[in-house]
Homo-oligomer: A and B are copies of this chain.
């Protein structure tokens, strides 16, 4: 039987391993929405709004390797744009499928709803261009060619792709054709040899060296290969903020967090005294570099990123990260002479049961609470800086959005992650300012039978912003007080554990109970307004 345009696209997405499609329905997208609901192998995952849907798709992609989002023309796609941009910045693959007005309306420049009223129909696709790695408007004639081209680019660059389908084409039969070969990028062999030899030499001859695995290791599915490189090298490794937990933090070679001069002075001193640092898939951004307090000599840094290698000031292009890492895993000489400082976990302060919950006590409590294979999703903010120094159990994965840094991302993202990881414990840790942005999405955990553990830090405002300012008391950092712990009930999450902790005793009791809770759980944690983790104190001092 011939396939329709949408069937061809959905079948290809299913072949790639997508089972859930996030979105908000809308009339221009109805034929797409219908096709998804009619497909027994797919689930339509309706979200409260399109930005939340985009964040949820981002979270799903982090676990599943890719995801799909469907929105309607104009209003829907633009609402999702900040989420798509975040996926682009942080290399998560989201296929964004947009339902467009009929070609007949486009051709006669009709003034229809969800447009700017100017009869133009390519405006929004153009606006999306900088935040996708490929885009297409499908027709029955170009469907096979264009879907294959877009998929190939998305898999290659692991970034969002934009696929628009005019309303009247969605259910038309495709015109059979053969897709052009979309061959994956291959490494240039001579350059590969030169680069690998140079890296082997540099690491062998360095007085002191270490490895710095980065976020792109995770995004390009290279955790095992990178672990093999670490093992072959015999060198210790550190991670920067965005890179937390890309390799297991229980590995004896793992020293801990490197964040310039802001924390862990022994680690800083060690890293900055290395004459060779092998970064693998790292993004040398402001946050990663401790607000640019990192004192790294560029001539000492090697960075292997998806299609390039930088060795000091030399840039090599057309090299696949996986090819470089495979060669290094085979050819590195194991060093046994380089040792970093001993790893140090934060200690738990002594408290009384009715003491208020301080940052120190809170993050030490989380450290004890985490279990192997937990999926921990953390919004940019106070909690992020509190959790960074904690060593996580084996297989536990810490997800943040450190480069793009859109607050509010974590709540919907953890919903998406929970759908993609039904057999793992999903823990959302957010602050109330971020949570207010996207809180309605909590209702969907319940709707889809998911049982997350949600911690909402209530410290009466945007504490991260107070700490990033010289003057801490501007009123724009104040927030309306919600009764956070009652929110899930109103949002329909029947039977959840919902509770508020204001003392260390409350927190201990709740953490213990959570181990035995069989439902979703939502914990509001109240701390003093200015109780900040040490790393944030350091950021404040560094201003």
Question: Are A111 and B286 in contact, with the CB atoms below 8 A?
Answer: yes
A375 / chain B contacts, CB cutoff of 8 Å: none
Q: What residues of B have a CB within 8 angstroms of the CB of A480 in the complex?
A: 443-444, 446-447, 491-492
- A25-B465, A37-B475 known; A404 vs B74 contact (CB < 8 Å): yes
A402-B474 contact given A51-B79, A85-B74, CB 8 Å threshold: no
A403, B25: Cβ atoms under 8 Å?
Answer: no
Per-residue CB contact flags for chain A residues 496-520 toward chain B (1 = under 8 Å, else 0) read: 0000000000000000000000000
Contact A46-B438, Cβ < 8 Å, known A111-B285, A111-B286, A490-B483: no
Q: Is A106 an interface residue (CB 8 A)?
A: no
A436-B114 in contact given A130-B123, A443-B482 (Cβ < 8 Å): no
> Which of B33, B75, B436 meets A86, CB within 8 Å?
B75
Q: How far is the CA of A85 from the CA of B113 in the complex (A)?
A: 12
A437 touches B486 (CB 8 A): no
Residue A439 lies at the interface, judged by CB distance under 8 Å to chain B: yes
A415-446: CB near B (< 8 Å → 1, else 0) gives 00000000000000000000011111001101
Task: Tell me whether A474 and B37 are in contact (CB under 8 A).
Answer: yes
**Measured CA separation A115–B283 after assembly (Å):** 12
A114: chain B residues at CB < 8 Å are: 404-406
In chain A, residues 224-277, which have Cβ atoms closer than 8 Å to a Cβ of chain B?
none
| Interface flag for A178 (CB, 8 Å) | no
Residue A476, interface by CB 8 Å: yes
Of all chain B residues, which has the CB nearest A79? B82
Q: Determine how close the nearest CB of chain B comes to the CB of A514; give it in whole angstroms.
A: 22
Partner of A81, one of B81, B285, B486: B81
Q: Is the CB of B117 within 8 A of A285?
A: yes
Q: A131 contacts the other chain (Cβ, under 8 Å)?
A: yes
A364 at interface, CB cutoff 8 A:
no
Instruction: Convert A160-200 into 0s and 1s, putting 1 for each residue whose CB lies closer than 8 angstroms to a CB of B.
Output: 00000000000000000000000000000000000000000
- Report which of B85, B86, B116, B407 forms a contact with A131, defined as CB distance below 8 A: B116
A471 contacts the other chain (Cβ, under 8 Å)?
A: yes
In the complex, A526 has a CB within 8 A of chain B: no
Taking the closest CB of chain B, its distance from the CB of A542, in whole angstroms, is 13
Q: Which residue of B lies closest to A437 (CB)?
A: B49
A345 close to chain B: CB less than 8 A? no
Interchain CA distance A491-B481 in the complex, whole Å:
7
5 smallest beta-carbon distances between A and B, as pairs:
A78-B82, A75-B406, A49-B437, A79-B82, A111-B285
